[in-house]
Chains A and B, each alone.
Chain A
Amino acid sequence: DTAVSQTPKYLVTQMGNDKSIKCEQNLGHDTMYWYKQDSKKFLKIMFSYNNKELIINETVPNRFSPKSPDKAHLNLHINSLELGDSAVYFCACSAGGPLEQYFGPGTRLTVT
């Protein structure tokens, strides 16, 4: 079984559209994350979330919003997509604190 899964793997859409990326983890971890990897491979935290607290990186536009229907899922909603949103988005999870994180396979988003 895949520990962290994401759907879809590829997402091509037009500017102005609203889209969602789904993430599911079966490790029973309390904390989940979203990262953005740009074209230069740089990885940056967007959100961290557990059942108590959502921490948002202040540089993330409010067009991005995480939604967690339950402990095993953290979906990413993006409104009014822009060209600059094109990137690979990774979901990750950990048991909390400074422990290692387990990453999903990524979703390559292309905005045209």
Chain B
Amino acid sequence: AQSVTQLGSHVSVSEGALVLLRCNYSSSVPPYLFWYVQYPNQGLQLLLKYTSAATLVKGINGFEAEFKKSETSFHLTKPSAHMSDAAEYFCAVSFKNYGGSQGNLIFGKGTKLSVKP
């Protein structure tokens, strides 16, 4: 079965510190991977995506993620946290050829990022 696991429901970092949010997937077919961010009381905004091109993907707001097939991982990083990065982050997976459900996003349970001044 296809699934996404986000390690750590809550991550706290100091402003200026490295942000690392972990995501592992389980898939029997090549995945498409996404990171979304949700600010309080708002919808989800796409941060970045991996769709089988370059394995290191750069997104908005200084975030990037690296697809590692051998580790089935797609961890999200940012070199220096900013107060405005405080939000809920979701990793999601989709598949190109997965019967009638292609395109459906399967989400991880989310990681809440807190940034301390």
Size class of the A contact interface (CB-based, 8 Å):
20 to 34
Interface centre among A44, A96, A98, A105 (most CB of B within 10 A): A98
Partner of B101, one of A43, A55, A105: A55
The answer to whether B43 and A106 touch across the interface, beta carbons within 8 angstroms, is yes
Size class of the B contact interface (CB-based, 8 Å):
20 to 34
Given contacts A98-B32, A98-B51, A98-B96, contact A45 B105 (CB under 8 A): yes
- Closest Cβ of chain B to A108, distance in Å, is 8
Residues from chain B with Cβ under 8 Å of A31 in the complex: 103
Residues from chain B with Cβ under 8 Å of A104 in the complex: 43
Which residues of B approach A to under 8 Å, CB–CB?
A: 32, 34, 36, 38, 41-46, 49, 51, 88, 90, 94-96, 100-107, 109-110, 112
